[in-house]
Structure 1
Amino acid sequence: MQIKQIFTHTLIGLAIGVFSQSVSAEAIIDKPAPAFTGTTADGGKLSLDSLKGKTVVLEWTNHECPFVKKHYESGNIPQLQKDAAAKNIVWVQVNSSAEGKQGHVSGAEATKLNESRSAKPAYVVLDADGKIGQAYGAQTTPHIYIVDPKGILLYKGGIDDIPTAKVEDLPKANNYVREVWAALADGKKVPHASTKPYGCSIKYSS
């Protein structure tokens, strides 16, 4: 009986340990954002650390997802990217779709796609192995993370508060990206630091 209890307690302990590791691997509000170095669409390298001193927006994307199409075809995300550049905020588009899965693109394809949509992210990071996305716990496209100039995670979640693929809902939505930017400009605490993301599931390799 004692052996059985010890074995059971050991299994529970291992399960708790695995759960704790998976939680700690995710991005946590008010903590340093997970460090990464990724390959950009032009074949270069980009590290989060190299962007210290600037606010950074990380946007997970998949051009074949209806929710992403809503925000690009309407001009919503392209305008946010342009406004970010004007504010000296770095917008990083991240694609974690695995090779052979929906939304996967080469660097050249990503560049051509953004040109056709008048999209202007500062960088496009290709994450086909999913390591960056999984480090952040990114779940959907779009999924937004905002990092402050010190490298601290300020926001994670949806792009806004109306989880539909309908363009007509955009004017009624509270855009969380702009809300974070306004709070930063006013030196105030972000009112909604963690929200539920919506969109298509990220097509990870596993």
Structure 2
Amino acid sequence: MSTHRFTRRTFLAGTTLAGLATVAPRGILAAPPAWAAAAARVGDAAPGFTVAATTGQSVSLADQRGKLVILEWTNHDCPYVRKHYETGNMQALQKETTAQGVIWLTLISSSPGTQGYVTPKQADELTATRKASPTSVLLDPTGIVGKAYGATNTPHMYLIDNNGLLVYAGAIDDRPTTRRADVQGARNYVRAALEDVAAGRAVQTPVTRAYGCTVKYA
């Protein structure tokens, strides 16, 4: 991990995702849903939002301008998400990044009655039980924010630079499995993107295919 703080301006790299397989592996959508075509892309200004946090207070992306922001779409019942939380992988990245001043927003876009839907109290209990340390947990049961970003899977990760631009979107790492042992030795795309930003480099891998359970939109 670079010793630089994650605060320096980045320059955008290309956003073309090459070499997509015709048949997607398990946990990866073979084709994105139709609404994803209108979602923000890397290089765009990150879509603004104001969303209720589990604390009852509203969190606005506009208030984070000038800071690096990580968005994590999650579903606690998803085995792909559990892999990263039950090994402590996600918590370690949360602690590492927030200690450097990065804002980490965990978003839950599962609609009522679907897998992963939680009340504010349940979400806070999960955070405590898993010893997670995001800056805030945001509830998006209507899916408005998730669809604006094109979030299709859990986990689905995004990095917004201190100019408010999307500079990374996709998977947390290069091991699209539910096997816990695969966390070790995986290339963490989010950490790599942060290190590129810290070094003043273009993000070398700005777009990857997210893997995991589909987001349970209404």
Query: Displacement of 1:22 after TM fit?
Result: 5.9
2:119 is aligned with 1:106: yes
CA contact (8 A) 2:157 2:170 kept: yes
- Residue 151 of structure 2: which of 92, 113, 138 is its match? 138
**Correspondences of 1:49-60 after superposition (within 5 Å):** 49-60=62-73
Note the residue ranges of structure 2 that are not aligned, 5 or more in a row.
Answer: 1-33
Query: Which amino acid in 2 is paired with 1:107?
Result: P
Q: Which has the larger radius of gyration?
A: 1
Residue 8 (structure 1) aligns with: none
Quick one: which of 72, 91, 94 aligns to 2:85? 72
SS state at 1:125 partner: strand
SS of residue matched to 1:111: helix
Counterpart residue type for residue 55 of structure 1? L
Closer, same or farther: CA 101–22 of 1 in aligned 2, 3 Å = closer
Amino acid at match of 2:92: Q
- Out of 153, 160, 163, the position equivalent to 1:147 is 160
Q: 1:43-192 residue pairs with structure 2 within 5 A?
A: 43-192=56-205
1:39 lines up with 2:72 in the alignment: no
Q: What are the residue-to-residue correspondences of 1:187-206 with 2, within 5 Å?
A: 187-205=200-218
TM superposition shift of 1:170: 1.0
Q: What is the distance in 2 between the residues matched to 1:204 and 1:100?
A: 10
1:47 deviates by: 1.1
The offset of 1:172, in angstroms, is: 2.0
One-letter code aligned to 1:178: R
Residue identity opposite 1:111 in structure 2: D
Secondary structure class of the residue paired with 2:191: helix
Poorly superposed stretches of 4+, deviation over 6 Å = none
Match of 2:163, SS?
coil
Query: How far is the alpha carbon of 1:111 from its aligned partner?
Result: 0.6
- State percent identity of aligned pairs: 44
How many residue pairs are counted as aligned between the two chains?
185
- In 1, the alpha carbon distance for the partners of 2:97 and 2:118 equals 24
- Is the partner of 1:182 in helix, strand or coil? helix
Q: Deviations over 1:2-23 (max 9, x none)?
A: xxxxxxxxxxxxxxxxx7x863
Q: Which residue of the partner structure matches residue 4 of structure 2?
A: none
RMSD value, Cα = 1.1
C-alpha distance after superposition, 1:115-174 (max 9, x if no partner): 000101001110001000011110000000100011000000000011001111111211
Separation of aligned partners in 1, 2:54 and 2:40: 24
SS at match of 1:174: coil
> What TM-score, normalized by structure 2, do the two folds share?
0.83
